[in-house]
């Protein structure tokens, strides 16, 4: 019995490792299909030829609030979408969990916060979040026009909830986009994401 439990633990550990390593920088980003808060369906494959940013979001998380209440995330969204980047805000909070919202609730929030992503994708089942291994809010991913994942990690190097830390922070997302658009390799392709855990269904 002990041997069986040990073997089962090994199998689970191997499966967990495979899942964690399913999305890796330098490899093709997994295609997905998701519906936004206006009922429009988006697939990653339809945006081939463009840079795509995925931003995991939970409006109740203090780390997310830091970037929205300061206007910082909205500024990034406007800056990069104006340069042709597709920016998806993704909400993977499950019903009954912190950060879960209906489409109408999120649309009202976006209007109130003057947020400006390309679209907000609702992922209450966590399918998209698990596909990318999204761990925190925010957790950021950048995909290049060839569909290759070029950045996975934190928004910046200041893992705090202090709004005053934003001006002096090194923004990894903007840095990755600037370098890639200039034809350079991304100097920091992976970092450890920080924030609240994504509130998946139990």
Alpha carbon distances (Å) from 98 to 32, 79, 107, 154 = 24, 29, 17, 20
Tens-place pLDDT, residues 102-122: 999 999 999 999 999 999 999
pTM here is: 0.89
Please say if the pLDDT value at position 153 is more than 80: yes
Q: Are 30 and 22 in contact (CB under 8 A)?
A: yes
Q: Which domains does the chain have, with CATH numbers?
A: 26-197 (3.40.30.10)
Q: Are 59 and 152 in contact (CB under 8 A)?
A: no
Across the chain, mean pLDDT equals: 91
* 173 vs 18, higher pLDDT: 173
Strand partners, 137: 196
Please say if the pLDDT value at position 22 is more than 80: no
DSSP E strands, 47-126 = 52-56, 86-91, 119-122
pLDDT mean over 144-160: 98
Instruction: Give the list of residues 6+ apart from residue 123 with CB closer than 8 angstroms, or none.
Output: 34, 90, 91, 92, 129
> 10-14, 75-79, 150-154, 174-178: which has the minimum mean pLDDT?
10-14
In this structure, the number of other CB atoms found within 10 A of the CB of residue 184 comes to: 10
Torsion of CA 162, 168, 173, 174, to 10 degrees: 140
> 12-16, 73-77, 100-104, 186-190: which has the minimum mean pLDDT?
12-16
């Amino acid at each position: 019995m002990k041997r069986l439990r040990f073997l089962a633990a090994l199998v689970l550990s191997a499966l967990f490792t495979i899942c964690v390593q399913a999305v890796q920088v330098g490899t093709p980003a997994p295609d997905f299909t998701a519906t936004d808060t206006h009922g429009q369906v988006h697939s990653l494959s339809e945006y081939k030829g463009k840079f795509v940013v995925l931003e995991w979001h939970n409006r109740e998380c203090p780390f997310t609030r830091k970037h929205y209440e300061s206007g910082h995330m909205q500024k990034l969204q406007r800056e990069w979408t104006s340069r042709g980047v597709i920016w998806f805000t993704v909400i993977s909070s499950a019903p009954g969990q912190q950060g879960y919202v209906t489409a109408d609730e999120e649309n009202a929030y976006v209007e109130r916060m003057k947020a400006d992503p390309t679209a907000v994708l609702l992922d209450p089942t966590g399918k998209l979040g698990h596909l990318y291994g999204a761990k925190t809010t925010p957790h950021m991913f950048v995909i290049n026009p060839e569909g290759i994942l070029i950045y996975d990690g934190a928004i910046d190097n200041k893992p705090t909830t202090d709004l005053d830390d934003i001006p002096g922070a090194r923004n990894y997302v903007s840095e990755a986009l600037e370098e890639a658009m200039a034809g350079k390799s991304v100097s920091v392709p992976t970092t450890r994401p920080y924030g609240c855990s994504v509130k998946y269904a139990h």
